[in-house]
Structure 1
Amino acid sequence: MIAQYMPYGMCTLGLLLASLAACSQSPRNTDPTPSHGFESQNPAFFFDRRPFIHPTIIASFSLLMRDYGDQVVAMHLNDRVGSNRDLGDIEVQPREGKHPRIVFDRGDEGFFAYSLVGISDSGAYIVATSESGGGSGVFRSLMVFRLRSDYGIARDSAENRLALTRPRTLLYFLGSITLGDRWSGELQVVGNELHIGVDEGWFSRSGGSGHGPRSEDTETQIIQLDF
């Protein structure tokens, strides 16, 4: 076998040309639209003023009895608000020095209500919820959300292609904290801290007997929000 000699400069040039040729043959994503979510700077729907996010949308993220985990994690607000799923009037209950309470009355099946506690410095919305199934229990929780903008698939008929060009506003669910049945106390967001006050509700009178998970707390709990 006779080895062929190639000068070093020509070898380097050959490798460079081969790399450029391979890149030119690779599929390119020329769509400037991001495929991942980013913080919504100008949301069209609100927790604390009109147009309000309907309580049934918030209730969609809650779990049925004995269920667990995060089963629904995002909702497309642009298409969901005003849909047939959310028919029904809401009641806006003003509260002095606090954000209003937004209530949807389910008749014999109770109600679902929410109010904005605050927005962390990192942009997370902390929302207090109350839910009744028609009995004596009123189950309180804190839900944590972000409002994100992203893009969904839309068809470009002229070029016969699908592309991520349809703007969407997503209500993105980060998780929840259970407060308990008929819990009542002070809630506050300070910077990136969540302050949960002492329960002064129904079960606080029994020393926490039959209580929810936070009815035995004897001092304000300060929770760092690392998200």
Structure 2
Amino acid sequence: MVRILCSVLCSFLATTICLTGAYGAAQHDLPPPVTKVLTHTWKVSPAWKTSTYTFHKEEFINPRIVEEMQGPLADSGSQLISVNVQNANISNQFFSEVRVRSTTPTPYVYYQEDNKEFGYSFVGATTTGIQIVHTQSTQGGSGVYHNLLFFIFTDTDAISFGLEVVPVTQPTLTLIGTLPLGDRFTGTISLADDTLTVLPPKESAQPLPLYSGGIILQFK
């Protein structure tokens, strides 16, 4: 009887180990990253490098502005895509206490309100002036939702009303794209030589929502 029990137990353990190993292998079985080439020239303001408000140094662009441009998690597609960042950054509409956490390689800029937090870190800029920003947002639950946002600074035509009514040019921050990274993303993001590389974590099968094995995006 003891021998039978030992035999059954050994068989059970062997089966469990095999299944666990197979499951672990399946976890890491993601496809290779896809490579995409984006060829386009946006009308970027020549003053983008000297803008007063930036994503990577003081004075930081208020994270509440970035959150509003990203839009609610429940919605899809862009709604608010352009903001006069010079005015918005000092406005009551987008007011929040901007906090900065020292992180590598760039600081994490965020605000907190009750049980909610939203922040961003600067990934980098292409030679043509596309600003890439990694955002994180929580709504009080266990989820931490990550996105990559793509911005440009533009010069927008407007009208100035005063003693004279004249056309003017105002600096505008414009959202040109959003790449969702999913909940609790722990992969890697890098930008070098106008090539953006986004890869899922190696230690687990955590695919990206649109490109499960990752994406390599070349800006031409």
TM-score between both structures, scaled by the size of structure 2: 0.72
Task: Show the counterpart of 2:144.
Answer: 138
* C-alpha displacement of 1:221: 3.0
* C-alpha displacement of 1:156: 5.5
* C-alpha displacement of 1:150: 3.1
Equivalents in 2 of 1:38, 1:196: separation in Å? Answer: 24
Letter in 2 for 1:148: T
1:103 correspondence with 2:105: no
Root-mean-square deviation (CA, aligned residues, Å) is: 2.1
Judge conservation of contact 1:181–1:212 (CA < 8 Å) in 2: no
Judge conservation of contact 1:77–1:168 (CA < 8 Å) in 2: no
Residues 186-225 of structure 1 mapped to structure 2, 5 A cutoff: 186-199=188-201, 205=204, 207-208=205-206, 212-213=208-209, 216-217=212-213, 221-225=215-219
* C-alpha displacement of 1:47: 0.5
1:82 correspondence with 2:90: yes
Equivalents in 2 of 1:85, 1:182: separation in Å? Answer: 29
Q: Secondary structure at the match of 1:39?
A: coil
Equivalents in 2 of 1:66, 1:47: separation in Å? Answer: 25
Q: Secondary structure at the match of 1:48?
A: coil
Task: Show the counterpart of 1:175.
Answer: 177
* C-alpha displacement of 1:216: 4.5
Equivalents in 1 of 2:143, 2:201: separation in Å? Answer: 15
Among the aligned pairs, what percent are the same residue? 23
Equivalents in 2 of 1:116, 1:65: separation in Å? Answer: 20
Select which of 97, 110, 119 maps to 2:125.
119
Judge conservation of contact 2:145–2:185 (CA < 8 Å) in 1: yes
Q: Secondary structure at the match of 1:79?
A: helix
Equivalents in 2 of 1:127, 1:196: separation in Å? Answer: 13
Q: Secondary structure at the match of 1:84?
A: coil
Task: Show the counterpart of 2:26.
Answer: none
Judge conservation of contact 1:103–1:113 (CA < 8 Å) in 2: yes
TM-score between both structures, scaled by the size of structure 1: 0.70
Q: Secondary structure at the match of 1:177?
A: strand
For residues 8-33 of structure 1, the C-alpha deviation after alignment (integer angstroms, 9 at most, x for no partner) is xxxxxxxxxxxxxxxxxxxxxxxxxx
Equivalents in 2 of 1:151, 1:87: separation in Å? Answer: 25
Task: Show the counterpart of 1:63.
Answer: 71
Q: How many pairs align?
A: 176
Letter in 2 for 1:171: L
Gaps spanning 5+ residues in structure 1: where?
A: 1-36
